[in-house]
Amino acid sequence: MAYLDNVKTFVRVYELGSMSAAARDLRISAAVASARISQLEEHLNVRLFQRTTRMLNPTEQGNLFYRGACKILEAVDEAEAEINNVTLMPRGSLYVAAPLGLGRRLIAPRVPAFKAAYPLIDIRLRLSDRKLDLAAEGLDVAFFLGVPEDSALRMRKIADCPRVLCAAPEYLARKGWPETPGALTDGRHDCLNLRYPGASEFQWPLETPEGVKRFAVTGPFESDDGDVLTGWALEGHGIILKPVFEVAHHLKAGRLVPVLEDTPPVPVQMGCLFIHRRRQDPKTRLFIDFMAEHIAAAMAGV
């Protein structure tokens, strides 16, 4: 397995452009990662990277070897997948990403049940509201809310997720209730926005009698963490646009109150992305199927 480990390390160094970043990703030391690359270069009798104190760039031979190395790893994955299918004992680590709110409320609570059902599969869950690159970050599955942009990936839709505009009662007592969507854009109300590098949606799409319209809202606070926005709303600082499942318990308790119910936000698509392979790794398929079933049931109860 030493040669295969060296190839895996080379691929991650190539994709991440950093020996230390690849080492962290593979959970090994930078010294081990460097030694593996050196062993591979010695075996191939070529230099795969040009190294300086600040940069690490693949050589021409490194670029050529990367394409072949990916085919090697894909062939190994497919072979292991076939064995797993035969033995019905899928095993290994699964690297999963999800937005913070979705991950905390719908994915993470169900991971232990999945592990109990499939004890040989380990789940590495990463939660972030920023846009992720599956290939570059070594992810197997990425759940999302919205419209994915990367057409090179396979997508599975799980559910349409209703959304709600809401605010704390004390905010509405102080600022008044918005009677039309125009009240969100004329300075009368404070809107709390989710913004992060690469975010594409800076407007709130609402369903009006004339069809879907987008409203460029503004407010005093912005964050790249959706739960921070919920906290600000609960403290009476403004109006938020949220998936219903994220704030359902606050709505039920009266801590947040729906507004503009005649012009609700457009529902958002919930799904997952994964890298296309001719034979999908069974543990990936099992995890997606498991989560899709439980998320759909949870959404039906919202």
> Does 145 lie in the same domain as 103?
yes
Check: pTM over 0.85? Answer yes or no: no
**Is residue 274 predicted with pLDDT exceeding 90?**
no
Question: Which DSSP helix (H) or strand (E) runs through 285?
Answer: helix 282-300
pLDDT at 278: 47
- Per-residue pLDDT tens digits for 145-162: 887 665 567 888 888 889
How far apart are the C-alpha atoms of 273 and 59, rounded to whole Å?
32
Domain extent at residue 96? 89-161+269-300
In this structure, are 262 and 275 located in the same domain?
A: no
Q: Each residue of 59-71: pLDDT tens digit?
A: 989 898 998 888 8
Q: Domain check: are 95 and 77 in the same one?
A: no
Task: Tell me how far apart the alpha carbons of residues 107 and 143 are, in angstroms, rounded to a whole number.
Answer: 9
Question: Residue 111 maps to which CATH number?
Answer: 3.40.190.10
Joined together, the tokens standing for residue 220 give 């005093």
User: If you average pLDDT over residues 214-222, what whole number do you get?
Assistant: 88
Domain boundary among 85, 104, 123: 85
Both 96 and 239 in one domain: the answer is no
If asked whether residues 68 and 28 sit together in one domain, one would say yes
Residues 250-278, mean pLDDT to the nearest whole number:
88
Domain boundary among 85, 116, 138: 85
| CATH at residue 43 | 1.10.10.10
Looking at per-residue pLDDT, the higher value among 159 and 96 belongs to: 96
**Same domain? 44 vs 76:** yes
**Which region among 104-108, 137-141, 177-181 has the lowest average model confidence (pLDDT)?**
137-141
Shared domain for 218 and 280, answered yes or no, is: no
Lookup: tokens for 278:
């001719």
Report the distance separating Cα 194 and Cα 224, nearest Å. 5
Provide the percentage of residues in the chain whose pLDDT is more than 70: 90
Look at residue 189 and tell me whether its pLDDT is greater than 90: yes
- Considering the domain architecture, whether residues 205 and 249 belong to the same structural domain is answered as yes
- Count of the separate structural domains present in the chain: 3
238 and 119 in a common domain: no
For residue 277, what pLDDT is reported? 58
